[in-house]
Amino acid sequence: MPEPPNLATPGGAQAKERRLESWGEIASYLRREIRTVQRWEKNLALPIHRLAVGKLSSVYAYPSELDKWYHEREPSDVKDDDASDDPSSSGIARPNGLALPAPASAAPVSNGAAGGGAQLEKSFYKPTVIWAAFASLVVLGVFIALAIRWYPSVIVLPRGTMPVDGKMRLFVRPFQNITGDPGQAEFTEGLTNELNTRLGRLDPKHLGVIAPTSSKQLGGKSIAELEPLLKLNYVLEGSVRRASNQVRIDVSLISAKEQTPLWSDSYTENLADILKVQDEVAETVAQKLLLNLPPVSAAASAATVDPEGYNSYLRGRRAWTTRDLERSVSAFEDAVKKMPKYVPAHSGLAASYAVIGQAPNDAMPPGVASSKAKAEVQRALDLDPTSAEAHYVRGNILMYYDWDFPAAEKELREAIRLEPGNATAHQWLAQYFMIEKRLGEAQAETDIALELDPVSPIFTTTRAEAFYYGHDFDAAIAQAKLTLEQYPNSVLGEFWLASAYREKKMYPEAMQHFRRAGTLAPNNPALLMELGHALAVSGDKAAALAVLANLQALSTHRYVPVAYYAGIYLGLDDKNQTFLWLDRAVSERDDRVIYLAVEPMADPLRSDPRFQALLARIHLDKPQH
């Protein structure tokens, strides 16, 4: 096999001048964001060179040419998203932070590729390159997070960046896919999310990392917009390029307040052996950081890895983030087959199984979903007892399927102890508090989830849910509307908005939004029940009975929880039929019944002795907090 082309500096006038080998190095030299520098090349002829490698190209620049371009710029030449991106703006440091351009002989920016030359081969080779990128991002993630934590000995921070509580906040902008292949976008997004999650686990007491969902939603905003919105200290951005058995990653760590790069680097990795690279990552971390890292479990370090399996794992994570549960189950199932010792794949599959059997998804009967989820949770905990995700999924199972609420709280709190920055753990603890009528604690946990993931529709609607169970329907309406402003197609946003309208007896509005939710999720049993109940309490008995018949017909070819029949009969004020179906729902372990103690729909039943007997069977008859 021929040697890949060498990207060393060619001969010519600049042959003796050091070269800036990537967008990251160029941006660092100019003290701007990578995307700003790329816009300057496109719109203002910033002198960027490209070396073609097959269908790809590698960028580089010479400091002397950048200095010349810089001095020739007029303030009126530059019009950018942010005035601070103007290379001629007053009060902004010149390239390299100096009053005058840095001399061409200045020390080069460090490069993660040995020998300084990035080598990219022509053909694509997906399996091993995935691990090259992942390994590089893990190294970068650990280095950056700890550099921020221990800034006095690593980097010099601009004044005024330390928050009052001593906790840094970092935003990981979605990395750019610069291969020119749209098919690699999912790969790049997955690696960015894994880096984001890894950073969030390192030192949550001192480093807060905005979670992937919000990172994606807000990724197009400028740093000037993000800094006050999220109270940021730093932004990490970069790009990923894949080619043959190599991957190149350019990254830049930027001060959010000063909007200038503090550190940048480029990493080119060549992997012939995945396990060897994992050893190299650990060795590099040990060499670069003389600090105490969170302990790494033996299970994690010894896990069997498979490139195709990891691709499936990334697909599963992406689907789980949006609660596309059928896809997440399918992808995670493939991942655990190919990586039977990879703990996150087992815990991710357990989470997907658990939630797919719960309202409003109801895609599996409770007995089937809980059995599958319990098996995967146990496999994950057998491999790694410190898996936070496995603990909070076990807490979910204990809460929704086993109705062992004290044990559920214990597991959820253990997960948060292990991983304080996990937004889902806080969300599920909030829902446990709702069930227990501890609504103040529920809102506090929801606040934490939203601090970690500020614009996630999952967590913004959880706040609306807490308001609803607290009978604060105006607040629930306001919160649901905020979610729908950001995510117009949010089924849960429509669901909680309609539910709050119904409790305020605003029936036309309620039915409008229940129907809108139904168009987003056709033939969803939970939504049909809610519509039928709203029609019944509004006085349209015939329409309510038609929905009930529709639900019964639907049950002939998919699972329909019998609690939903009780919901429509409750709206029709037929208490005998309501209790008949609720009794059966408790026997079949329908998860929705665990909310009976706080569900406003059930208020007409609370004085009936049969209702208290139901709560006792669900273990919700004890005095509430």
Residue 402 maps to a domain: no
- Decide which of 329 and 113 is more confident: 329
- pLDDT for 58: 67
Q: What is the DSSP string of 462-518?
A: HHHHHHHHTT-HHHHHHHHHHHHHH-TT-HHHHHHHHHHHHHTT-HHHHHHHHHHHH
Q: What is the DSSP string of 264-281?
A: EEEEEEE-S-HHHHHHHH
Q: CA 307 to CA 242: how far, in whole Å?
A: 14
pLDDT tens for 258-316 read 777 766 666 666 432 323 333 333 333 333 333 234 455 544 444 456 778 878 888 89
For 189, the domain range is: 126-294
Q: How confident is the model at residue 405 (pLDDT cuts 50, 70, 90)?
A: very high
Supply 263's token pair.
């550190």
Q: Is the pLDDT of residue 354 over 60?
A: yes
- pLDDT for 150: 40
Do residue 99 and residue 161 come from a single domain? no
Residue 420 maps to a domain: no
Secondary structure element (H or E) that encloses residue 43, with its range: helix 34-44
Do residue 149 and residue 220 come from a single domain? yes
Mean pLDDT (whole number) for 30-43: 79
Do residue 103 and residue 132 come from a single domain? no
- pLDDT for 281: 31
Backbone angles phi, psi at 608, to 5 degrees: -85, 130
Do residue 63 and residue 173 come from a single domain? no
Instruction: Name which of 501, 527, 500 is nearest 516 in CA terms.
Output: 527
- Decide which of 348 and 204 is more confident: 348
Residue 187 maps to a domain: yes
Do residue 232 and residue 168 come from a single domain? yes
- Decide which of 484 and 234 is more confident: 484
Do residue 137 and residue 95 come from a single domain? no
Residue 453 maps to a domain: no
- pLDDT for 242: 62
Supply 360's token pair.
């409003």
pLDDT tens for 406-465 read 999 999 999 999 999 999 999 999 999 999 999 999 999 999 999 999 889 999 999 999
- pLDDT for 409: 98
Q: Is the pLDDT of residue 90 over 60?
A: no
58-62, 235-239, 247-251, 471-475: the lowest-pLDDT one: 247-251
- Decide which of 248 and 141 is more confident: 248
Q: Is the pLDDT of residue 539 over 90?
A: yes
Residue 261 maps to a domain: yes
Q: CA 131 to CA 80: how far, in whole Å?
A: 36
Residue 220 maps to a domain: yes
Choosing from 85, 112, 139, the residue where a domain stops is 112
Q: What is the DSSP string of 64-129?
A: HHHHHHHHH--GGG---SSGGG-TT-TTS--GGG-SSPPPTTSPPPP-SSGGG-----SS--HHHH
pLDDT tens for 379-401 read 999 999 999 999 999 999 999 99
Mean pLDDT (whole number) for 222-245: 78
Do residue 78 and residue 163 come from a single domain? no
CATH of the domain at 230: 3.40.50.10610
Which one-letter DSSP state was computed for residue 555? T
433: left (phi over 0), alpha (psi -120 to 50) or beta: alpha
Largest Cα–Cα distance in the chain? 93
Q: CA 314 to CA 550: how far, in whole Å?
A: 38
* Cα angle for residues 377, 381, 385 (degrees, 5° grid): 145
Do residue 137 and residue 273 come from a single domain? yes
Q: What are the residues whose beta carbons fall under 8 Å from the beta carbon of 42, sequence distance 6 or more?
A: none
Tally the C-alpha atoms within 13 A of residue 432's C-alpha that lie toward its C-beta.
Answer: 27
Mean pLDDT (whole number) for 215-232: 85
Do residue 85 and residue 165 come from a single domain? no
- pLDDT for 604: 96
Residue 161 maps to a domain: yes
45-49, 357-361, 435-439, 566-570: the lowest-pLDDT one: 45-49
**How many separate domains does the chain show?**
3
Residue 379 maps to a domain: no
Supply 393's token pair.
């999924």
Choosing from 294, 323, 339, the residue where a domain stops is 294
* Pair 211, 423: CB distance under 8 Å: yes
Do residue 542 and residue 585 come from a single domain? yes
Do residue 44 and residue 184 come from a single domain? no
- pLDDT for 244: 56
Tallying the residues shown for the chain, one arrives at 625
Choosing from 261, 294, 327, the residue where a domain stops is 294
Do residue 148 and residue 99 come from a single domain? no
Q: CA 24 to CA 493: how far, in whole Å?
A: 40
3-state secondary structure at position 192? helix
